[in-house]
Chains A and B, each alone.
Chain A
Amino acid sequence: MEQEQGWADLQINALSKSFRDPKGAQVHALDGVSLSIPAGEFIVLLGPSGCGKTTLLRSIAGFEKIDSGHINLGGNRIDLLPPHKRPVNTVFQSYALFPHMSVAQNIAFGLENEKIDKNEVKARVGQVLELVKLTELADRKPSQMSGGQQQRAALARALAKKPKVLLLDEPLAALDLKLRKSMQFELKRIHRATGTTFVFVTHDQNEAMALGDRIAVFNQGKLQQVGTPFEIYTAPASEFVANFIGESTLLQGKISGQIFEGDGLRITNLNQDINANASAKLIVRPEAFTLMQGQTSCGKVEIKEVIFAGDSLEALLVTQSGHEVKVKTGASLLSQLNVGQSVELFVDVNQIGQIA
Chain B
Amino acid sequence: MRQKSWSVSHLPVIKPLGIASLVFLYLPLFTVLIFSFNKSEDATTWGGFSTRWYSTILENTDLIRSAKVSLSIAIPCALIAALIATGLAVGMGRATGKVQNFLRALVNAPLVLPEIVTSVGTLALFSLVGVPLRYSSLLFAHVVMCVPFAFLPIRSRLRDFDENIFEAARDLGASSTRVMMKITVPLLVPALLSSGLLSFIISMDDFLTSLFVSGPETTTLPIYIFGLLKLGASPEVNVIAALLLIIPTLGLLVGITWTATRRRSNEARNK
Contacts of B187 in A (CB 8 A): 98-100
Any B CB within 8 A of the CB of A161:
yes
B149–chain A nearest beta-carbon distance, Å: 25
Contacts of B165 in A (CB 8 A): 96-99
A84 near B164: Cβ-Cβ < 8 Å: no
Cα(A174)–Cα(B181), bound, Å: 30
Q: Are A139 and B270 also in contact (CB < 8 A) when A98-B165, A100-B186 are?
A: yes
Q: Which of B171-198 contact A (CB under 8 A)?
A: 171-175, 178, 182-183, 186-187
Q: Are A109 and B174 also in contact (CB < 8 A) when A92-B164, A97-B165, A140-B270 are?
A: yes
Any B CB within 8 A of the CB of A113:
yes
A109 near B169: Cβ-Cβ < 8 Å: yes
B126–chain A nearest beta-carbon distance, Å: 42
Chain A residue at minimal CB-CB distance from B267 = A144
B169 near A94: Cβ-Cβ < 8 Å: no
- How many residue pairs, one in A and one in B, have C-beta atoms under 8 Å apart? 65
Any A CB within 8 A of the CB of B41:
no
Contacts of A141 in B (CB 8 A): 270
B171 near A61: Cβ-Cβ < 8 Å: yes
Any B CB within 8 A of the CB of A248:
no
A83 near B270: Cβ-Cβ < 8 Å: no
Any A CB within 8 A of the CB of B168:
yes
B268–chain A nearest beta-carbon distance, Å: 13
Any B CB within 8 A of the CB of A63:
yes
Q: Are A84 and B174 also in contact (CB < 8 A) when A100-B186, A100-B187, A141-B270 are?
A: yes
B161, B162, B182: the one within 8 Å of A109 (CB)? B182
B167 near A92: Cβ-Cβ < 8 Å: yes
* Majority secondary structure of chain B interface residues (helix, strand, loop or mixed): helix
Q: Are A94 and B170 also in contact (CB < 8 A) when A99-B187, A109-B182, A141-B270 are?
A: no
Contact with B along A80-91 (1 / 0, CB 8 A): 001110000110
Any B CB within 8 A of the CB of A285:
no
Q: Which of A145-159 contact B (CB under 8 A)?
A: 157-158
B interface, CB within 8 angstroms of A: 161-162, 164-165, 167-175, 178, 182-183, 186-187, 270
11 interchain pairs, CB-CB under 8 A: A83-B171, A84-B173, A84-B174, A92-B164, A96-B168, A100-B187, A110-B172, A110-B173, A113-B173, A157-B172, A161-B173
- Contacts A100-B186, A113-B172, A141-B270 aside, 4 further interface pairs with beta carbons under 8 A come to A98-B183, A99-B165, A139-B270, A158-B171
